[in-house]
Amino acid sequence: MAKIIGAVTTSHVPAIGNAIAKGLQNDPYWRPFFKGWDGVHVWLEKTKPDVAVVVYNDHGLQFFLDKLPTFAVGAAPEYRNADEGWGLPTLPPYRGNTDLSWHMIESLVADEFDITTCQEMAVDHAFTLPLKLMWPNAEACPVMTVPVAVNTVQHPLPTPLRCYKFGRALGRAIESYDKDLKVVVLGTGGLSHQLDGPRAGFINKAFDAMCMEKLVGDPEALTRYSIDDLVEQAGTQGVEVINWLTARAALGGRVSEVHRNYHIPISNTASGIMVLANAA
C-alpha cells in the first residue's frame, strides 16, 4: 500500500526562481533561506520518497478567473512549467502518475470532495520551486508528482476548516492506493505577507510562529480561524497557509517535527520551511 512518509511545507516566492537562475544561493541576502533546506535534504536522502503530492495555489498560469476551481487535482502523464510573464527560464517537465491520480480522484469524490480533474495542467512557481529546492542538484525532478491546486486568488476561498477536512480526505485517498509507494505531501505558500494595497509589506512574526507550532501538535486549532482572520493576521497572500494546513491534515494524528527554518524576509515574504514526519 502507499504510505505517506511526511510533509514538507515551504514558501514559494517567485524571486527564489530568480535567485536560483542567477546562482545567488550563497549571497548574504539569500543564504539564510537556502541554508534552511539542508535539514530537508538530509531527511529526503534518508526517506527517499517515490511521489510528491503538491498542495499549492496557481497564480494565473493554468487558471484564469473565467473558470476557477476551489480544489483541482492533476491527472496528467506530465506537467509542464511555462512563462508566467517574467521570462524566467522554465524548469523541465514533471512526471505524473495517472493511475494514482485517478485513484485519488475516485476516493476524494466518494468522500464528498467534488474536485475538478485536470488531464492537462500547467504548473507555476508554487509547484515547481519547492520541488527544485528539495532536489536542487537533479536536472529534472526525480519523483512522480500529483498537483493539487487550492484557490487562494479569488474570494470566497475555502475555509481553514474545509481545507483541514480536504487534507484528511487526501490522506485517505493516498493511503488507500494499493501500490507500494512512499509519498511526501507538500504544502506551499506563506507565511505572512501582503503584496497589495497600502498595507503591502505586512509581516506578522508572532502569528507565523503560532501557526508553525500548532501545525505540529494541534492543527485543528488553526481550523478555528476564518479566511478574514487569516487576511488580517497573515496578510492577503498569507492566507496561503491553508495549503500548509491541507498538507498537514493529510498526515493524520501524531507527527514529529524533523526540521524547521524561519527567516524574514525573502522578497516581501516571511519564509517558513518545515518537515513533519508521519508517526509510524
Partner 1 sequence: MGSRPRYAHRDISGTTIFDGVQAQKGYALNKMCYSFNAAENRAAFVADEEAYCRKYGLNAAQRKAIKDRDVLGLIAAGGNVYYLAKFAGIFGLGVQDLGAAQTGMSVEAFKQKLLDAAN
What residues are annotated to the active site? Answer: 125, 193
Contact present, 79 and 145 (Cβ < 8 Å): yes
Q: What minimum distance in Å lies between the beta carbon of 52 and partner 1?
A: 23
Q: What minimum distance in Å lies between the beta carbon of 91 and partner 1?
A: 16
Identify the bridge partners of residue 276 per DSSP, sorted by sequence position. Answer: 7, 257
CA dist., res. 271 & res. 147, Å (int): 22
**Which range binds partner 1 by CB under 8 A, 36-44, 182-190, 197-205, 246-254?**
197-205
- Residue from 10, 11, 101, 194 in contact with partner 1 (CB under 8 A): 194
Phi, then psi, of 242 in degrees rounded to 5: -65, -25
- Residue from 48, 64, 136, 179 in contact with partner 1 (CB under 8 A): 64
- Residue from 22, 35, 46, 155 in contact with partner 1 (CB under 8 A): 155
Position 240 contacts partner 1 (CB under 8 A):
no
Position 21 contacts partner 1 (CB under 8 A):
no
Provide the 8-state DSSP code for 158: P
Looking up cell 518545515 gives: 274
Q: What minimum distance in Å lies between the beta carbon of 17 and partner 1?
A: 11
User: CA–CA distance from 84 to each of 27, 62, 78, 93, 124 (Å)?
Assistant: 25, 10, 18, 15, 7
Question: What is the SS3 string spanning 249-267?
Answer: HHCCCCEEEEEEEEEEEEC
User: CA–CA distance from 22 to each of 19, 30, 86, 141 (Å)?
Assistant: 5, 11, 14, 20
Position 15 contacts partner 1 (CB under 8 A):
yes
**Crossing angle of helices 227-234 and 241-250, rounded to 10°:** 120
Q: What minimum distance in Å lies between the beta carbon of 55 and partner 1?
A: 18
User: CA–CA distance from 125 to each of 100, 128, 153, 256 (Å)?
Assistant: 23, 5, 15, 28
Position 210 contacts partner 1 (CB under 8 A):
no
Q: What minimum distance in Å lies between the beta carbon of 214 and partner 1?
A: 21
Position 67 contacts partner 1 (CB under 8 A):
no
Note the Cα 167 to chain centre separation in Å.
Answer: 12
Q: How many residues bind partner 1 (CB under 8 A)?
A: 39
**Which range binds partner 1 by CB under 8 A, 42-50, 54-62, 173-181, 246-254?**
54-62
CA dist., res. 194 & res. 131, Å (int): 24
Q: What minimum distance in Å lies between the beta carbon of 233 and partner 1?
A: 10
Q: Which of 144, 55, 53 is nearest to 97 (CA)?
A: 144
- Residue from 86, 90, 119, 213 in contact with partner 1 (CB under 8 A): 86
Position 150 contacts partner 1 (CB under 8 A):
no
Position 65 contacts partner 1 (CB under 8 A):
yes
Site for partner 1 in 117-146 (CB under 8 A): none
Residues that bind partner 1 (CB under 8 A): 14-15, 59-61, 64-66, 82-87, 153-156, 194-201, 203, 205, 228, 231-232, 236-237, 263-265, 267-268, 270
